[in-house]
Amino acid sequence: MLVHKVKNSGLEHVAIIMDGNGRWAENKGRPRLFGHQAGARRVREIVESCPELGVKYLTVFAFSTENWKRTQIEVSGLMKLFKRYIYKETRPLIEAGVRVRFIGDRIRLEPALVSLMDQLEAQTKNNSVVNLTIAINYGGRDEVTRATKRMADDVLNGKLSLDSINEETLPKYLDTHVLPDPCLVIRTSGEARISNFLLWQSAYAEYEFVDTLWPDFTKEIFSSVVSEFENRDRRFGGLVK
C-alpha cells in the first residue's frame, strides 16, 4: 500500500455534486457521453488528493433517481461507464487504500452492475485511508422514503417502539448509516441547487458552488475550496466561542 501524507483538518466528510459533464462535452462539439467519460477520469485525482487535504470521507453523486429521464442512449452509456469504471479502477482504488461503498436504490439497476458494485465493496472493505461513497440511482427523498418504510416495518414487527423514535433513529435506516454527516457539499458547473442530494445528512453542511465544469475540476481547485471552508466559522445554530 502507498504511504500517504495525511493532514488533520476539520473536514471529515466532503460530498460533491459532479455537474457539467454534458456542457463540457458540448463546448467541445462532442457527445455528452464524452463528457461523462472525462468526468469519471477526474474522480480518481480527487479521491487520491483526499488524504493530503484531511478528507476521510468523500461522497460523489454519479446518477440520480431523476437521471432516468435522460435519453436512453445517455442512460445506457452511463450504466456502461459505471461498469467500466469499476473494472478499471478496482486496482488503483485498492492500492490507494480506498474503501468503496455505494448508496442509492439498487432495485432498478441491472444485475451485472449490482454484482460488480457488491464485489468492489467486498474487495475494499478492509481499506481505511479514504472512504469513497458513490451514489447511483440515489435521491434524498427516495432514501428517506425507503428508510421510513423499513422503520415502520420494525415498529409493526415490535422491533422498535414508537415512543423511542427521535432524531437519531431515522439516520440508522438511511443508506448512509455508517457515514458521518458531510461538513461540506460542493457543486460544480455554476448551478446553485442541491438536487435531492443527501437532504437529511446535509442539515448543517456548508455549501460551495463553483463555476468550473466537473471534468475541469482539478485537485488544485479542490484544495482551494477546502482551504476556503477551513476559514469559515461553523456554529451549528449556536454562537462562536
Binding site for ligand FPP (CB under 6 A): 18-23, 36, 39-40, 43, 60, 62, 67, 81-82, 85, 134, 189, 214
Output phi, psi for 68, to 5 deg. -65, -20
Please provide the distance, in angstroms rounded to a whole number, between the alpha carbons at the two ends of the chain.
41
Name the residues annotated as catalytic.
Answer: 19, 67
CB-wise, 130 or 147, nearer to ligand FPP? 130
Contact yes or no for 219/45 (Cβ under 8 A): yes
Q: In whole angstroms, how close is the CB of 60 to ligand FPP at the nearest point?
A: 5
CB 47 within 8 A of CB 96: yes
Considering the complex, what minimum distance in angstroms separates the CB of residue 82 from ligand FPP?
Answer: 5
Cell numbers linked to 57:
470521507
Smallest Cα–Cα separation from 85: which of 37, 53, 142? Answer: 37
Per DSSP, 209 falls in state: E
| CB of 34 or CB of 82, closer to ligand FPP | 82
Question: Which residues in 179-202 are b (16+ Cβ under 10 Å) and which e?
Answer: bebbbbbbbbbeeeebebbbebbb
Residue 165 β-bridge partners: none
- Write the CA distances from 111 to 117, 139, 174, integer angstroms: 10, 20, 22
What's the min distance (Å) between Cβ of 67 and ligand FPP?
A: 5
